[in-house]
Amino acid sequence: MSDDTKKAQETSSIPISSMLKRNETKLLVVEDDRFLRELLVGKLKREGFSVVEAFNGEEALTQIRAEHPHLILLDLVLPGTDGFGVLATMKEKPELKTPTIVLSNLGSREDIDKAMDYGAKEFMVKAHHTPQEIVERVKKVLDEHYLHQ
């Protein structure tokens, strides 16, 4: 049984809220700015998520392989392999596939289309959303992906 189906089975019958209480939902935050990363990670932890971090694309892929997060919050402009590179790798390798919310300060139609083509679930411009709004979007995507398939 692949990790993906195991993960889906573990989670499919449990509402997100009860998973959150038990710190069972694991998120990966990929963000190169330390302050933003810490702020967002702090917020997500207070919301009851368990959070792993990465500051560039290579590290993000390592973390995805090692930690199997339920959801990824992904910045696009990163040192080394950028966010598009991470999305492309996930698209190529089904075992790495994870629902992803792109969280970037890019935001032209081209960038959005490209990210969505690579399989991102949502595209949020950092400057246009508060951490609280991001938390809500995370819950929505988790709900849609794991509970209402």
Partner 1 sequence: MKIRYTLFFRFFWTLVALGVIPMAISSGFLVASYQTRITAVLGAVEAQDLLFNIGIQFFLIFLFVFIISTFAAFIISRNISRPLQVLTEAVRLIGKGNLKIKIHILRKDEIGVLGEFFNEMVGRIKDTQERQEEISRLKSEFITVAAHQLRTPLSIVKWAYTSVLDGDFGPMVEAQRTILGKAAIANESMIKLVHNLLDASRIEEGRFGYKFERTDFGAFLKKLLEEKKLFAEKKGVSLTLDIHSKDTLYLNADPEKLLIAVGNIVDNAVRYTASGGSVGISLDAEDAFAVVKIKDTGIGIAPEDKTRLFTKFYRGSNVMHLETEGTGLGLFITKNIIVSHGGEVWFDSEHTKGTTFFIKLPREASSKSPTNVSFESFVGAI
Stretch that binds partner 1, among 2-10, 33-41, 87-95, 136-144 (CB under 8 A): 33-41
Query: Residues 87 to 126: which contact partner 1 by CB under 8 A?
Result: 105-110, 113, 125-126
Choice from 6, 10, 77, 143 touching partner 1 (CB under 8 A): 77
Q: What dihedral angle (degrees, nearest 10) is formed by the CA atoms of 38, 44, 49, 53?
A: -30
Residue 13 to residue 126: CA distance in whole angstroms: 32
Asked if 101 and 71 count as a contact pair (C-beta separation under 8 A), the reply is yes
Q: Determine the angle formed by the axes of helices 131-142 and 34-46, rounding to 10 degrees.
A: 60
> Considering the complex, what minimum distance in angstroms separates the CB of residue 32 from partner 1?
9
Name beta bridge partners: 27: 51, 71
Which residue, 13 or 108, has its beta carbon nearer to partner 1? 108
Choice from 6, 45, 46, 65 touching partner 1 (CB under 8 A): 46
Contact residues for partner 1, defined by CB under 8 A: 33, 35-36, 39-40, 42-43, 46, 77, 105-110, 113, 125-128, 130-132
